[in-house]
Amino acid sequence: MNSDELISILSKHTLKEEIIESDSIVIDLDLNGDDLDELYFDLIDNYGIDLKDIGNIESYFHSEGELLDLLYPYKWMMNKIGLRKEPARRILQPLLVSDLIKFVNS
């Protein structure tokens, strides 16, 4: 699969109109939680690509449960004013479109 094909697949799952290889899957394409699940199953069902083989996939994305955490605003505020040391959500490892292209082609 070439990069244009993968970018075409990604474009079906994001609202961003122009995807470039330096885009972050989570930040720029906003693929996280359930949106990522849809991409994941599309890649498996239609292209035989399993993202679990990329390694610890949980280190790259938040689950839907994390994204819907009702205490997130409280945790964020406590972190900002210094009453909470850990961030409101886990710090993710960056995953770029170019990283995904390299993974698919390997």
pLDDT of residue 53: 78
Number of Cβ within a 10 Å radius of residue 101: 19
Interval 77-97: pLDDT, tens: 999 999 999 999 889 999 999
Helix (H, G, I), strand (E, B) or coil at 73: helix
The reported pLDDT for the residue numbered 12 is 93
Q: Which residues of 26-63 are buried (b: 16+ CB within 10 A; e: fewer)?
A: beebebbbebbeebbeebeeeeebebeebeeeeebbbe
pTM greater than 0.75: yes
Tokens for 25, please give them.
């899957």
Q: Mind listing the pLDDT tens digit for each residue in 44-70?
A: 888 888 887 787 888 898 889 899 999
- What's the pLDDT score for residue 55? 78
Query: For residue 40, what pLDDT band results from cuts at 50, 70 and 90?
Result: confident
Closest of 20, 13, 9, 101 to residue 47, by C-alpha: 9
> How is domain 3-63+93-105 classified at the CATH fold level?
1.10.1200
User: What are the angstrom distances between the C-alpha of 31 and each of 23, 34, 75, 79, 98?
Assistant: 11, 8, 23, 25, 15
pLDDT in tens, 4-37: 999 999 999 999 999 999 999 999 999 989 998 8
Distance, in Å, from the CA atom of 33 to the CA atom of 62, rounded to the nearest integer, reads 6
